[in-house]
């Protein structure tokens, strides 16, 4: 589709603003080239149209989204790690501490530098964790000159902050592992529109890469990208970086004496702590979370990611208690911590205490009437009372005189409840 002018294009954007995201596949054209008497078929790249607000595409397992955040970009909010700046239509580069730089990167270490894997935000999407990368593009304002294509995106991990010598899917200077390639499943390009979020420092694209692709024993992330093969660069720079989200941390402890205080008691492993964005008391798939470590420690990164409102915001932090039946929370008394989160801040000492509920049972047996001779008929009354703090689940009830009575009693018995049966 060719849009004749800017007004026509804007009308199309308005009519499609609330439609489901589309994947624009332009694969109809196949070129046949004669090389040495042979025909070689070259398929055109897949052009993923991300030119309208709300557009998304999944490419080789990563999620690409049009991104129009309202928060400012600057110190304490956004951390850039590679800026590509040139007057050429096609431009490329990657982040490193090595100098001199190899391609079209800005030489300032404020904008082009190594970046720790641990500083790449973790974002949950339907309970699956992704690493979030953000891109700010700059183009001329008038359509179609406002369009720019991202034609290559490769992400590596390494232990060398000064990695260099980029070749085809590797580096000559040090060991690295390619964890993501936009073209890994076929030749792809992403078409973006600068007009969606005009201005330097206003990000335009968000890329979410599955976290399970990354080896956390490696220290650094290296992102290589190339722009302009389909829609050329014509103004300003392109910059990759990350949002500097706040974090939340604390300890989950086994409150053995139930006093609501961590008296140096052991930590509890495998508990989910989350930020309850909608305050419904339920852990939802887009709410940031952490699983406690063996010492009970946890840290929730990327608080506020993907939310429509700018920080600061006040949210409650809770634990998922129903994953652990037989336990109660002893701290905090309210059941949650409430925190006002702002950019690039670490909020600590948000501990949670729990103790295991104590089980106990009391069984009584009485006989009526009093036996006077061998031929008397007697009635036995047996009462089982749950005198503990938690539900009891029946295994077996056996009397030395009456035998196995398990079939007469219910499967479970709530705390404080009793069950009585008589037997002749």
The DSSP call for residue 415 is T
- Percent of the chain with pLDDT strictly greater than 70: 86
Statement to judge: residues 224 and 346 lie in one domain = no
How many domains would you assign to the chain? 3
Average pLDDT over residues 226-234: 97
Q: Which residue has the tokens 């030395």?
A: 400
Please say whether the dihedral angle defined by the alpha carbons of residues 134, 137, 141 and 147, taken in this order, is positive or negative: negative
Comparison of pLDDT for 202 and 40, the residue scoring more: 202
Is the model's pLDDT at 10 over the cut of 60? Answer: no
CA distance 100 to 86: 16
8 Å CB contact between 219 and 163: no
Instruction: Tell me if 159 is assigned to some domain.
Output: yes
List beta partners, residue 380: 367, 423
Statement to judge: residues 341 and 298 lie in one domain = yes
Residue 157: CA count within 13 A, CB half-sphere: 17
Statement to judge: residues 394 and 317 lie in one domain = no
Q: Which residue has the tokens 């694209």?
A: 205
Average pLDDT along the chain: 87
pLDDT value of residue 42: 55
Comparison of pLDDT for 242 and 75, the residue scoring more: 242
8 Å CB contact between 32 and 175: no
The DSSP call for residue 228 is -
Statement to judge: residues 183 and 270 lie in one domain = no
Q: Which residue has the tokens 């369009």?
A: 147
Candidate from 182-191, 237-246, 386-395 with smallest mean pLDDT: 386-395
Statement to judge: residues 260 and 166 lie in one domain = no
Statement to judge: residues 208 and 298 lie in one domain = no
Is the model's pLDDT at 233 over the cut of 90? Answer: yes
User: Nearest Cα to 71, choosing from 276, 278, 287, 304?
Assistant: 304
pLDDT per residue as tens digits for the range 78-99: 899 999 999 999 999 999 999 9
Number of H helices, E strands in the chain: 1, 34
63: part of which helix (H) or strand (E)?
Answer: strand 62-66
- CATH number for position 294: 2.60.40.10
Statement to judge: residues 204 and 163 lie in one domain = yes
Centre a 10 Å sphere on the Cβ of residue 336 and count the other Cβ atoms it contains. Answer: 18
Using pLDDT thresholds of 50, 70 and 90, give the confidence band for residue 35: very low
Q: Which token pair is 34?
A: 């004669």
* Domain of residue 313, residue span: 247-356
CA distance 394 to 390: 13
Q: Which residue has the tokens 């970009």?
A: 73
Statement to judge: residues 269 and 339 lie in one domain = yes
Instruction: Tell me if 1 is assigned to some domain.
Output: no
pLDDT value of residue 214: 98
Statement to judge: residues 98 and 183 lie in one domain = yes
pLDDT value of residue 18: 31
Domain end among 356, 382, 404: 356
8 Å CB contact between 154 and 177: no
For residue 197, give the 3-state DSSP assignment: helix
Using pLDDT thresholds of 50, 70 and 90, give the confidence band for residue 424: confident
pLDDT per residue as tens digits for the range 289-319: 999 999 999 999 899 987 877 889 999 999 9
Instruction: Tell me if 189 is assigned to some domain.
Output: yes
Comparison of pLDDT for 328 and 424, the residue scoring more: 328
Statement to judge: residues 192 and 304 lie in one domain = no
- φ, ψ dihedrals at 351, nearest 5°: -90, 160
């Amino acid at each position: 589709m060719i849009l004749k002018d800017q007004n026509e294009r804007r009308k199309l954007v308005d009519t499609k603003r609330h439609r489901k995201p589309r994947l624009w596949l332009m694969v109809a054209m196949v070129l046949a080239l004669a090389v040495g008497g042979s025909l070689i078929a070259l398929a055109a790249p897949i052009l993923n149209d991300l030119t309208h607000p709300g557009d998304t595409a999944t490419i080789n397992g990563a999620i690409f989204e049009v991104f129009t955040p309202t928060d400012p970009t600057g110190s304490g909010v956004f951390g850039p790690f590679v800026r590509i700046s040139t007057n050429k239509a096609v431009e490329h580069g990657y982040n490193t501490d090595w100098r001199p730089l190899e391609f079209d990167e800005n030489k300032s270490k404020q904008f082009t530098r190594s970046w720790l894997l641990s500083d790449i935000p973790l974002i949950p999407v339907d309970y699956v964790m992704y690493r979030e990368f953000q891109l700010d593009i700059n183009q001329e304002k008038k359509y179609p000159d406002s369009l720019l294509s991202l034609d290559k995106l490769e992400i590596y991990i390494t232990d060398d902050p000064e990695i260099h010598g980029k070749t085809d899917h590797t580096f000559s200077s040090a060991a690295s592992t390619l964890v993501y390639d936009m073209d890994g499943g076929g030749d792809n390009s992403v078409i973006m529109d600068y007009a969606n979020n005009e201005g330097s420092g206003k990000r335009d694209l968000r890329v979410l890469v599955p976290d399970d692709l990354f080896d956390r024993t490696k220290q650094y992330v290296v992102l290589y990208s190339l722009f302009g093969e389909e829609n050329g660069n014509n103004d300003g720079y392109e910059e990759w970086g990350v949002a500097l989200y706040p974090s939340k941390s604390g300890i989950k402890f086994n409150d053995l004496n139930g006093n609501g205080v961590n008296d140096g008691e052991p930590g509890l492993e495998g508990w989910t702590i989350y930020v309850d964005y909608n305050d419904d008391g339920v852990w939802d798939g887009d709410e940031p979370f952490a699983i406690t470590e063996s010492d009970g420690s946890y840290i929730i990164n990327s608080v506020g990611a993907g939310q429509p409102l700018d920080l600061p915001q006040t949210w409650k932090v809770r634990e998922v208690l129903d994953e652990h039946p037989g336990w109660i929370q002893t701290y905090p008394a309210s059941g949650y911590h409430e925190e006002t989160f702002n950019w690039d801040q670490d909020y600590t000492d948000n501990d949670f205490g729990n103790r295991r509920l104590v089980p106990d049972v009391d069984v009584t047996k009485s006989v009526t009437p009093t036996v006077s001779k061998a031929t008397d008929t007697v009635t036995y009354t047996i009462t089982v009372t749950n005198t503990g703090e938690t539900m009891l689940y029946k295994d077996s009830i056996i009397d030395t005189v009456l035998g196995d009575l398990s079939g007469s009693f219910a499967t479970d018995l709530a705390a404080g409840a009793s069950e009585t049966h008589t037997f002749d």
